[in-house]
Amino acid sequence: MVFSRKLRDTAGHIVRLVEQHGSDIWWTYPIEELLPESVLKQAGSSASAQEFVPGRDVLDIWFDSGTSWVHVLEDAQQRADVYMEGKDQLGGWFQSSLLTSVACRNKAPYRNVVVHGFTLSEKGEKMSKSAGNVVDPDVVINGGKDKVKEPAYGADVLRWWVAESNVFTEVMIGPTVLNSAREDINKVTEAYKNYEFGKVIRLLEALVTRDLSSFYFSIIKDRLYCEEERDPKRRSCQTALAEALDIVVRSFAPILPHLAEEVFQYLPYKKEGDSVFRTGWFVPNSVWKKPGLVEAVEATCSMRDLFLGAIPGKNTAEYELSVVIEPGLLFEILEEESYQVIVQKTTKERCPRCRKYTAESALAPCPRCLEVIAGKWSQ
């Protein structure tokens, strides 16, 4: 107890001195000034005080960051999910954190260690100030002096770029990656669990640009814009869009936190939680997984491909598609070459409302649009 009080008094005294006069006091002040009154009194004389020697060996320059777990982890028994640093920290921060935590708590401060590579210049060279090829993250985020040459990209863009590069090895993009992206959004969760941020980004890019933007958004346009407000056809795709937005926003939130939070705050419907970061991780609803649905969509897509291949470069709206199958073979429609497609130029006129070639005259809406205008679902 006496020892610990002495130690506490001495440490408190030195902390005050450093706060007032800077850390040089350790080297410039005589020992009598480095010790607090209580310790000096106990030492009895100035000669006894000389028995105390301020240590001047460098213990570890990473010691302060190596003990950061004390402040970062709220609970003394807690462990961090991950410590992430460059490979140079294997003998540095990872090591000093492990040693200090094991010494004080008999347990590692982290469950996982992720070691990333170094950032190289555009030409693949090591960045160095003397070579003048250093990219300053602060300039990427806030922009340089000349905002035309070096515009401000914001923190999310930098985070996306870092996450996009494979943290462990070279980035490889090929058919395997794209094919795997199709299979399941659960793969995003798996990739996060394995700290494969580059894979997360490839999966999300494939989902957003191919599955959503170029496929789903294009096939729902007509029912979203032209069907009646309360028509189940329109409501169902609004539900699907809300679900897709929820999954996309929450799955990119760890990489683009600012953008995700902004989108979340503007969602026009009731949300769980006041922040995207309080909603928990998404669990895909099993209701959406219907057996045979993927095969049916793929079969429809190959049908569409045959149609598009028959009229290269033409306006598809001006053509009609007939699918010919043999009687009794309806279920085999999912299999290729069990049907034929016939493509003909339409004889109908362009509907002034929905712009589909389904009207009898270019001056009057098509039968579907007339029904919508009459308010079939409002009655």
- Binding site residues, Zn ion, CB under 5 A: 351, 353-354, 366, 369
**Smallest distance from the beta carbon of 274 to Zn ion, in angstroms?**
43
**Which residues are CB-neighbours of 238 under 8 A, at least 6 positions away?**
224
Closer residue to Zn ion, CB minimum distance, 82 or 373: 373
Helix (H) or strand (E) holding 325: strand 319-325
| CA dist., res. 43 & res. 30, Å (int) | 15
Minimum CB separation of residue 356 from Zn ion in Å reads: 6
Minimum distance between the CB of residue 207 and Zn ion, rounded to whole angstroms? 31
What are the CA-CA distances from residue 247 to residues 56, 68, 252, 328, 333 (Å)? 56, 34, 9, 40, 32
**What tokens were used for 287?**
């209701």
Encoding tokens for residue 274?
Answer: 């006041």
Supply the minimum distance, in Å, between the C-beta of residue 349 and Zn ion: 10
Nearer to Zn ion, 255 or 369 (CB): 369
CA 72 vs. chain centroid, Å, equals 23
Which residue, 79 or 353, is less far from Zn ion as judged by CB?
Answer: 353
CB of 360 to Zn ion, least distance (A): 11
Closest CA to 92 of 110, 66, 73, 112: 66
Tokens of 371: 């029904």
Q: How far is the CB of 236 from Zn ion (least distance, A)?
A: 20
Q: Tell me the closest approach of the beta carbon of residue 301 to Zn ion, in angstroms.
A: 25
3-state secondary structure of 13: helix
Please list the residues that pair with 276 across neighbouring strands: none
Cβ-based nearer residue to Zn ion, 50 or 361: 361
User: In the complex, what is the shortest distance from the CB of residue 327 to Zn ion, in angstroms, rounded to a whole number?
Assistant: 32
Closer residue to Zn ion in complex, CB, 203/351: 351
Long-range interactions of 303-312: CB distance < 8 A, separation 24+: 303/339, 303/341, 306/341, 307/341, 307/343, 310/341, 310/343, 311/343
Length of the chain: 379
Q: Write down the least CB distance from residue 318 to Zn ion, Å.
A: 15
Residue 68's CB is within 10 A of a number of other CB atoms, namely 17
Cβ distance to Zn ion smaller for residue 106 or 347: 347
- Whichever of 203 and 369 has its CB closer to Zn ion, that residue is 369
DSSP H stretches of helix in the chain: 2-21, 25-28, 31-34, 37-43, 46-49, 63-66, 69-72, 93-105, 137-142, 155-164, 175-183, 186-193, 197-205, 217-226, 232-252, 257-265, 293-310, 367-374
**Closest to Zn ion by CB, 228 or 246:** 228
In this complex, which beta carbon is closest to Zn ion, that of residue 231 or of residue 261? 231
